[in-house]
Amino acid sequence: MRKVLVLEDEANIRSFVVINLKRAGYDTIEAGDGEEALAQIQKNPDIKVALLDIMLPGEMDGFEVCRRIRAGSPQMGIIMLTARTQEMDKVTGLMTGADDYVTKPFSPAELTARVDALYRRTGGTIMQDADEISQPPFLLNTRNRTLEKDGKRVKLTQVEYAIVKLFMENPGKALSREEILETVWGREYLGELKIVDVNIRRLRIKLEDDPQNPAFVITVWGHGYKWDA
């Protein structure tokens, strides 16, 4: 079964999400607070995608749950569910390791489309053309979906991996934000372009010796980004 964790403290919203995901063929694991969510992940290591509400009871909010999931499961897909519309909340969610966010209220079709797209990436169902792409100091293993820098493993989310793979397949090419969004998130993605910029910022922290003066992920002003390795 395709397992998805739904962390939402409001029972009526959680029920709404669960019903629609079950209709789409997902096996849903429910949690009402952060501690329960982490416990469910321990019990169900085959969960591929987690939907996390930001505002939760207790001392652990959705951001902290996201951080803890990322520390132990870098490949799990994470979508933040939030009623907030402030820009900083969206950026904070992405910078703590989320792959996407959905702002309440959302339609069942939108939520299912986001989960479908993320599940496909985490499921690793896309066939690869080659086993390795070597561009020193980086080595991308497309069979294992891993990246090394100077022989050391770099922990990437599935979205980050997809961005790096796109860059390494197109070295030196200026890629627009729209191209990156469509390739990584899919044509059906209904979110905003800023999600590309936030993920690039997160990638630079992981890949660059000096993220403030990037040597590999270069900004092409007014257009997008290019890979220079």
Question: Which residue type occupies 6?
Answer: V
DSSP string, 42-93: HH-TT--EEEEESS-SSS--HHHHHHHHHHH-TTSEEEEEES---HHHHHHH
Task: Give me the residues paired with residue 101 across strands.
Answer: 80
**% of the chain exceeding 90 in pLDDT:** 59
Of 3-12, 84-93, 218-227, the poorest mean pLDDT is in 84-93
Here the tokens at position 83 are 């009623």
Q: What percent of the chain has pLDDT over 70?
A: 94
Bond before 137 cis per omega within 30 degrees: yes
Q: What is the pLDDT of residues 64-115, one digit of tens each?
A: 999 999 988 888 999 998 776 666 777 888 888 899 988 888 888 888 888 9
Q: What count of other Cβ atoms lies within 10 Å of the Cβ of residue 24?
A: 17
To 10 degrees, the CA torsion angle through 182, 197, 148, 175?
50
> Residue 102: what residue type?
V
Q: What is residue 125's predicted lDDT score, i.e. its pLDDT?
A: 42
Mean pLDDT of 23-35: 93
Q: Is the pLDDT of residue 20 over 50?
A: yes
130: tokens are 């080659």
Query: Which of 27-36, 38-47, 172-181, 186-195 shows the lowest per-residue confidence on average (mean pLDDT)?
Result: 186-195
Percent helix, strand, coil in the chain, to 5, is 40, 25, 35
Local confidence band at 128 (pLDDT 50, 70, 90 cut-offs): very low
Taking alpha carbons only, the member of 115, 105, 123, 120 closest to residue 23 is: 115
Q: Provide the pLDDT for residue 84.
A: 66
- Taking residues 21-26, what's their average pLDDT? 89
Task: Output the CA torsion sign for 93, 181, 70, 17.
Answer: positive
What is the model's pLDDT at position 43?
Answer: 95
In which band, very low, low, confident or very high, does the pLDDT at 124 lie, cut at 50, 70 and 90? very low
Count of residues making up the chain = 229
Residue 7 has pLDDT above 90, yes or no: yes
Q: Tell me, what's the pLDDT at 103?
A: 84
Across the range 9-36, mean pLDDT stands at 93
Give the pLDDT confidence score for residue 85 in this predicted structure. 65
